[in-house]
Amino acid sequence: MSDPTDPFRLAERAAADLAERTGGGDHDVAVVLGSGWAAAADDLGATEATVSTGDLPGFVRSTVLGHQSEVRSVRAGDRRVLLFLGRVHLYEGNSPATAVHPVRTAIAAGCSTVVLTNAAGSLDPDNGVGRGVVISDHINLTGLSPLTGESPPDPYGARFVDLTDLYSARLRALAHRVDPDLGTGVYAALNGPHFETPAEIHMLRTLGADLVGMSTALEAIAARHMGAEVLGLSLVTNLAAGVSGEPLDHLEVLDAGKAAGPRMIEVIRQVIDAL
C-alpha cells in the first residue's frame, strides 16, 4: 500500500480530481499567477472550467490579498492550460510541500511546462517598476527544500536533482523573442512576509541577485524534479528597500501588477503559442 500522506501521491490524487472536474484528459502547461497578475487572467484564453482549489485534496486557501484560490482550465491555441489564480506561500505558515502542491498537481495532471510568475522588488534601478524580467536563475535563501523528506516514490527521480538548467534556456529565449523589452535577472527567494532591510538588499546585491521576492524558488525546484520545463517571470512592482529611499507597501505591489498585467499575460500567451 502506498502512503496516502506522501506529497507525490497526494498530488496524483488531486490531479485525478482536477481532471474529472475539467472534462477529463491531460493538460499541457501550468501557469501560476503571482501578486497582482490575476487581473489580466481572462486574456490568456477561453476558460473551459473553473475549480475552487479548496475542493481538491491537499490544497489550502490563500490568505493573501491579490491571490485567489481558483484554478481554471483554459484553452490557449491548441494547448490546455491549468491557470492558478494565486499561490500559497511559506509566510502564510505553509510547509514547502504545501507551497509546491499546486505545481506537483499540475505536473501529475500532464503539464510538461510550468510558467511561474511573481511580483518582485528590483535591486537594479535600471529594472524599474512595471518591467517584466525573465528569471535566469535563483538564490534560494529560504533555507528550505520541497525535496526534504522520504525518497520520492516511483516513477519520480531521486531527491538530489540537478538544478544547473533550472530555468529553461529554451523558454527564456522564447520569452525574449516574444518581448525583446524583457529584462533578465537572478531572483533571490526569501521567506518574508516582512520586506527586507536596506542592509539585506545590499547583501543580496553583493551575492549576485537582481530581484527579490517571497515565492517561486521552491516551486521551480519541485517542477524540475518532476521533469517539467520551467519559465520564471517577475514583474517589478517596486525598487527594493533602500534602492529608491521610498517605503514599501503591498498595495503598491498590487497596483503595479494591475497596470502591467495585460502585457505580461500576452507574453505568456505568445510563449505558449510558440512552444
Residue (11 or 241) nearer to ligand HPA, CB: 241
Spatial CB neighbours of 224, under 8 Å, sequence gap ≥ 6: 161, 163, 166, 230
Shortest distance, position 245 Cβ to ligand HPA, whole Å: 14
Q: CB 238 → ligand HPA: shortest distance, Å?
A: 5
Cell of residue 65, nine digits: 490579498
Q: How far is the CB of 199 from ligand HPA (least distance, A)?
A: 14
| Crossing angle of the two packed helices 169-178 and 250-274, in degrees rounded to 10 | 100
Nearer to ligand HPA, 168 or 216 (CB): 216
Chain residue whose CB lies nearest ligand HPA: 121
**Beta partners for residue 137, in sequence order:** 186
Q: How many CA atoms lie within 13 A of 206 on its CB side?
A: 6
Sorted by sequence, the CB contacts under 8 Å of residue 2 that are 6+ apart come out as 9, 153
Paired residues of 117 in beta bridges: 233
CB burial of residue 180 (10 Å; 0-12, 13-18, 19+)? exposed
Q: How far is the CB of 55 from ligand HPA (least distance, A)?
A: 29
User: Which residue in 152, 138, 51, 139 sits closest to 102, CA to CA?
Assistant: 51
- Binding residues among 203-242 for ligand HPA as defined by CB under 6 A: 212-214, 237-238, 240
Nearer to ligand HPA, 33 or 228 (CB): 33
Binding residues for ligand HPA restricted to 6-35, rule: CB under 6 A: none
Cβ at position 211, least distance to ligand HPA in Å? 8
Q: Is 195 in the site for ligand HPA (CB under 6 A)?
A: yes
Catalytic residue numbers read 35, 67, 89, 91-92, 119, 214-215, 238, 250
Interface of this chain with ligand HPA, residues 77 to 136, rule: CB under 6 A: 119-121
The sign of the dihedral angle between the CA atoms of 88, 228, 119, 121 is positive
Binding-site ranges for ligand HPA (CB under 6 A): 119-121, 195-196, 212-214, 237-238, 240, 248, 253
